Amino acid sequence: MADARALGVIQHARRMIARHVGAPTKYERIDHHTHRIVCLETEVIFHTARSSLDIFERWKEAYESH
């Protein structure tokens, strides 16, 4: 993913997560290719994502498995 596109995808995914649970998200770029989003003590770490929906679904799956 190109950097600008990746950041747009990540930003949209964060908004989707925040709206879903009504809580803010925290984003961290661990290194050039690794990203982390945390919300309500649930985190998703990813290297690539096909779309913001892909990131949201990964986070949601982790959230619901708690």
pLDDT band, very low/low/confident/very high, at 3 (cuts 50, 70, 90): confident
**Which has the higher per-residue pLDDT, 4 or 59?**
59
| Matching residue, tokens 């986070």 | 59
Res. 8: pLDDT tops 80: yes
Tokens of 54: 């892909």
pTM for the model stands at 0.90
Per-residue pLDDT reduced to its tens digit, 11-63: 999 999 999 999 999 999 999 889 999 999 999 999 987 899 999 999 999 99
Nearest C-alpha neighbor of 25 from the set 8, 7, 13: 13
